[in-house]
């Protein structure tokens, strides 16, 4: 006799298996399960949107959505910034990072300004000529590839210092990043291209294969899972600073150093501290601009350039006319000449900040400006100053009016191309931002001298320019961008577009850009820069060159009605979110 199988017990078993599985998923993904609208396998880019309460704009749709969710869950702009930055370290690996550094600039709703410098520092074993051979020539790639190029990472220390201003527990803010790393996220075409083009470099400069090299060829829509990075983030979630700067993670970093002769020691990691820097402030045509102090050069540069052009009616000159571009370029030439000579880590070099950002100095520097005539970097040198004394940017403004602007970097795209074995994150190649030899340009063509020479513990000069604007003491704009030495010029042009040319924040961000950095004596323009103006500039005696895109600027502006108008640059996958 045939007996019918009793399927009930096995059905029960299967059902309870699925219940258990989904309970586990909730346990394993508390953030994503509670926020089903954030789907790491299916998400869209939103370039511009207006929100009633809080807004985030960043290089990644997922990271922006995470920031907005934290505000909706009761957090403020600092909570959003922390969660966005940690998510970027997972979903935007080319520049988002825990192995790099950055600057956090904030203005609290009560008017208090905060500047946290978590720039990388030179390891204790670093020395002035460490990148030169016996003949005194730079050793190719030593300051740009592999562990020799890395400064001591500052990002986690900076994020944890920022947490003092936040409202939600740190464990909650890091959770989305852990879930993206552990369960994966779908990569965009841009990311797939980036990972494919760097595959050989990742393998060459790392001691072991990594999540980035797990596939032969990446394509848009593939899922990137980073289990080692998830484990590192969990150690940080559990142990805070010590989860990165001590114990297992620190040991992995130091072990990786051994692979290619890098300099960072356990002691270097343990000793790293972020520094509070008093933000720089200046006025421009009824707007109060707040930006980052040295070791960033950005705040000084935009203060100089904007004050140099303030006496002129730029609006009347028009956008991208011969008159306006040559005026703005001559300001760029003069300010960048000062960058090379006078700027460095203020704890190691006396940066004459007060003079450099003074309006009288700006006017004196422009005294030899002749409208209609191309200047020359042979005759324009740094001013005489006497005084008593692949990066990513994101912006947040919350419901209360707290504004945060953060630019963070590994320096080059995917940093030094070294993924720390066991810990799953990329290291920076920030040492190249020092002047490795006077007169030898770094990877951005920037020159430097004594002010930016290498010393143990010193922080390399940066161009990162996170910037905030107020009008009548009320919050107005949070803005910034990546792009090496083009950064201060991009922010300068973006603000002039808004303030003088009355563009919306989205138009200002998307507008074509130009860049002059004193040396080389050439105006670099983006591919969509008007050809007739370029020809006109040449006829005036300028040298010009067409370059790819400059940066990916992200910004938020508060409208007259008090709404948060968020915009992401057309140049990348940048995306806004809010509520
Ligand atoms: O701090 C700096 O100035 C550079 N390390 C920034 C590098 C950068 O913006 C690369 N991004 N495109």
Q: How far is the CA of 10 from the centre of ligand 1 (A)?
A: 59
Q: How confident is the model at residue 120 (pLDDT cuts 50, 70, 90)?
A: very high
**Mean pLDDT, to the nearest integer, of 506-529?**
96
Kindly state if the Cβ of 392 falls inside 6 Å of ligand 1.
no
Whether the pLDDT of residue 535 is over 50: the answer is yes
Note the pLDDT of residue 386. Answer: 55
Residue closest via CA to ligand 1's atom 1 equals 462
Note the pLDDT of residue 196. Answer: 97
10 Å CB burial of residue 238 (0-12, 13-18, 19+) is exposed
Kindly state if the Cβ of 463 falls inside 6 Å of ligand 1.
yes
Q: How far is the CA of 414 from the centre of ligand 1 (A)?
A: 11
Q: How confident is the model at residue 139 (pLDDT cuts 50, 70, 90)?
A: very high
Kindly state if the Cβ of 210 falls inside 6 Å of ligand 1.
no
For 355-409, what is each residue's pLDDT tens digit? 999 999 999 999 999 999 999 998 887 777 654 438 999 999 999 999 999 999 9
Note the pLDDT of residue 461. Answer: 97
CA angle 101, 484, 64 (to 5 degrees): 60
* Cα–Cα distance, 237 to 227 (Å, whole number): 15
Q: How far is the CA of 444 from the centre of ligand 1 (A)?
A: 8
Note the pLDDT of residue 447. Answer: 84
* Best mutation site among 463, 489, 553 for ligand 1 pocket (most ligand atoms within 8 Å of CB): 463
Kindly state if the Cβ of 465 falls inside 6 Å of ligand 1.
no
CB-based contact 206:150 (threshold 8 Å) = no
Q: How confident is the model at residue 293 (pLDDT cuts 50, 70, 90)?
A: very high
Kindly state if the Cβ of 475 falls inside 6 Å of ligand 1.
no
Residue closest via CA to ligand 1's atom 8 equals 484
Query: Which of 13-22, 72-81, 164-173 shows the lowest per-residue confidence on average (mean pLDDT)?
Result: 13-22
Which residue, among 570, 557, 565, has the nearest Cα to 478 in the 3D structure? 557
Q: How far is the CA of 436 from the centre of ligand 1 (A)?
A: 16
Note the pLDDT of residue 350. Answer: 96
Q: How far is the CA of 391 from the centre of ligand 1 (A)?
A: 5
Collapsing DSSP states into helix, strand and coil, what is residue 355?
Answer: helix
**Mean pLDDT, to the nearest integer, of 154-162?**
98
* Cα–Cα distance, 62 to 81 (Å, whole number): 13
* Best mutation site among 394, 409, 410 for ligand 1 pocket (most ligand atoms within 8 Å of CB): 409
Q: How far is the CA of 252 from the centre of ligand 1 (A)?
A: 26
Whether the pLDDT of residue 23 is over 50: the answer is no
Instruction: Tally helices (H) and strands (E) across the chain.
Output: 19, 19
User: How much is the pTM?
Assistant: 0.94
Note the pLDDT of residue 28. Answer: 83
* Cα–Cα distance, 54 to 76 (Å, whole number): 9
What DSSP line would sit under 535-553, residue for residue?
Answer: HHHHHHT--EEEES-----
Kindly state if the Cβ of 490 falls inside 6 Å of ligand 1.
no
Which residue, among 475, 315, 482, 481, has the nearest Cα to 411 in the 3D structure? 482
* Cα–Cα distance, 489 to 463 (Å, whole number): 10
Atom of ligand 1 nearest to the CA of 297: 3
**Mean pLDDT, to the nearest integer, of 457-472?**
98
Residue closest via CA to ligand 1's atom 5 equals 411
Average pLDDT, the chain: 94
Half-sphere exposure of 539 (CA within 13 A, CB side): 9
Query: Which of 259-268, 433-442, 485-494 shows the lowest per-residue confidence on average (mean pLDDT)?
Result: 433-442
Give the catalytic positions in this structure. 391
**Mean pLDDT, to the nearest integer, of 205-222?**
96
Kindly state if the Cβ of 194 falls inside 6 Å of ligand 1.
no
Atom of ligand 1 nearest to the CA of 482: 9
Whether the pLDDT of residue 20 is over 80: the answer is no
Question: Residue 305: what are its φ and ψ, rounded to 5°?
Answer: -65, -40
Kindly state if the Cβ of 482 falls inside 6 Å of ligand 1.
yes
Q: How far is the CA of 72 from the centre of ligand 1 (A)?
A: 32
Kindly state if the Cβ of 433 falls inside 6 Å of ligand 1.
yes
């Amino acid at each position: 006799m045939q007996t019918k199988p009793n399927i009930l017990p096995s059905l029960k078993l299967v059902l309870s298996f699925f219940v258990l599985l989904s309970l586990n998923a909730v346990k394993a993904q508390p953030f994503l399960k509670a926020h089903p609208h954030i789907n790491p396998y299916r998400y869209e880019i939103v370039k511009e949107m207006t929100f009633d309460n809080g807004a985030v704009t960043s290089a990644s749709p997922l990271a922006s959505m995470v920031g907005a969710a934290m505000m909706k869950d009761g957090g403020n702009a600092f909570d959003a910034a922390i969660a966005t930055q940690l998510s970027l370290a997972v979903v935007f690996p080319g520049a988002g990072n825990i192995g790099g550094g950055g600057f956090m600039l904030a203005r609290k709703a009560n008017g208090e300004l905060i500047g946290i410098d978590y720039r990388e520092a030179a390891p204790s074993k670093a020395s002035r000529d460490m990148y030169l051979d016996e003949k005194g020539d730079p050793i190719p790639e030593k300051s740009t590839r592999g562990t020799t190029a890395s400064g001591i990472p500052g990002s986690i220390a900076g994020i944890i210092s920022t947490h003092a201003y936040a409202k939600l527990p740190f464990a909650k803010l890091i959770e989305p990043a852990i879930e993206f790393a552990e369960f994966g996220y779908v990569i965009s075409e841009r990311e797939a291209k980036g990972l494919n083009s760097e595959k050989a470099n990742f393998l060459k400069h790392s001691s072991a294969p990594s999540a980035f090299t797990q596939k032969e060829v990446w394509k848009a829509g593939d899922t990137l899972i980073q289990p080692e990075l998830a484990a590192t983030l969990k150690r940080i979630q559990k142990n805070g600073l010590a989860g990165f700067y001590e114990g297992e993670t620190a040991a992995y970093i130091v072990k990786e150093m051994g692979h290619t002769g890098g300099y960072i020691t356990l002691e270097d990691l343990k000793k790293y501290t972020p520094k509070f820097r008093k933000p720089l402030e200046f006025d421009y045509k009824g707007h109060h601009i707040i930006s980052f102090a040295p070791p960033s050069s950005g705040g000084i540069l935009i203060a100089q350039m904007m004050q140099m052009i303030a006496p002129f009616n730029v609006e009347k000159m028009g956008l991208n006319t011969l008159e306006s571009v040559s005026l703005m370029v001559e300001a760029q030439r003069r300010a960048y000449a000062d960058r090379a000579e006078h700027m460095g880590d203020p704890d190691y070099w006396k940066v004459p900040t007060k003079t450099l950002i003074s309006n009288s100095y700006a006017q004196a520097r422009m005294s030899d400006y002749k409208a209609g005539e191309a200047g020359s970097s042979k005759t324009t040198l740094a001013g005489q100053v006497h005084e008593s004394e692949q990066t990513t940017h994101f912006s947040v403004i919350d419901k209360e009016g707290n504004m945060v602007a953060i630019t963070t970097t590994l320096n080059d795209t995917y940093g030094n191309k070294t993924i720390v074995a066991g810990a799953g994150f990329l290291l920076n190649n920030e040492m190249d931002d020092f002047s490795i030899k006077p007169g030898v340009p770094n990877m951005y063509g920037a020159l430097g001298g004594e002010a930016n020479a290498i010393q143990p513990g010193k922080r390399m000069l940066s161009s990162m320019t996170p910037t905030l604007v107020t009008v009548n003491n009320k919050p107005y704009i949070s803005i910034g961008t990546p792009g090496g030495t083009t950064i201060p010029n991009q922010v300068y042009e973006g603000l002039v577009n808004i303030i003088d040319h009355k563009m919306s924040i989205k138009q200002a961000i998307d507008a074509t850009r130009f860049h002059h950095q004193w040396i080389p004596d050439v105006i670099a323009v983006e591919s969509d820069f008007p050809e007739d103006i370029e020809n006109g500039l040449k006829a005036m005696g300028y040298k010009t060159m067409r370059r790819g895109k400059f940066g990916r600027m992200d910004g938020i502006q508060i409208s007259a009605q008090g709404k948060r108008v968020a915009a992401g640059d057309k140049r990348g996958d940048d995306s806004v979110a809010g509520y």
